[in-house]
Structures are given as structure tokens and as C-alpha cells.
Amino acid sequence: MLKILSRLLSLASLAACLFSSILYFLAKLQVGDFKLIFLVASVSWFVFAGLWSKGGKKSLSVN
């Protein structure tokens, strides 16, 4: 359950990063607000993506 929630929240964080830049481009956000939202959403991505990836499968050995 925690993993599913982390997954959803991490994807939402990434979406927030992207949409904040679109809203800024459309002049719906001030520059300061946009950069703050982007920063908070970024931190949120790392927290939830970290929880989501815990216990995940190892990647291919390419070395």
C-alpha cells in the first residue's frame, strides 16, 4: 500500500514540476512562486521515488 502511494505521489511530484513551468510560461504563476513550487515538488519527488524504489529489482549488469 505504501509503495503504491509512494508511486502515485512521486509521479504527481514530477507532474507538478512540469506543470508549474507550463503555468509560468502561460503567465499564470509569478517567477518566485514557480521556482518555489518546482523546488518543493523536486524534493517531494526524491522522497517518494526513494520510498517507491526501495526493494526494487536490480538493473542489468553492463560492466
Partner 1 sequence: MVGRIASIASRMDRLYEFDREPVSANKLQSGWKFAGLFAGEHVAATEFVIGAFFVLHGVTAKDLLLGLAVGNLLAVLSWTFVCAPIATRTRLTLYWYLRKIAGPGLTFIYNIANAVLYCILAGAMIAVSATAVGLAFKVKTPALDAVWPNSVGWVILTLAIGSLFVVLAILGFEKLSRFAQICSPWIFTVFIAGAIAVLPRLGVRPNLRNFWEIATTKIWNGVPLSGQDRFGIGQIIFFAWFCNLAMHIGLSDLALFRYAKKWTYGFFSAFGMYPGHMLAWICSGVMVAAVGREMNPGLMAYEALGMAGVAGVLFAGWTTANPTLYRAGLALQTITPNWPRWKVTLVAGLGTTILSSFPVFFLKLLDYVAIYGLVLMPIGAVVFAEHWLFPLFKLEQYRAEKLDRPFHWPALVVWVGTLAISFFLPVHLFFRWLPGYLIALLSYTALSALRRK
Least distance to partner 1 from the beta carbon of 2, Å? 17
DSSP 35-63: HHHHHHHHHHHHHHHHHHHTTPPP-----
Q: Answer yes or no whether residue 62 interacts with partner 1 by CB under 8 A.
A: yes
The contact pattern for partner 1, residues 11-30, with x = CB under 8 A and - = no contact, is: ---x--xx-xxx-xxxx---
Q: Answer yes or no whether residue 39 interacts with partner 1 by CB under 8 A.
A: yes
Q: Answer yes or no whether residue 34 interacts with partner 1 by CB under 8 A.
A: yes
Q: Which residues contact residue 48 at a Cβ distance below 8 angstroms, ignoring those fewer than 6 apart?
A: 6, 7, 9, 10, 13
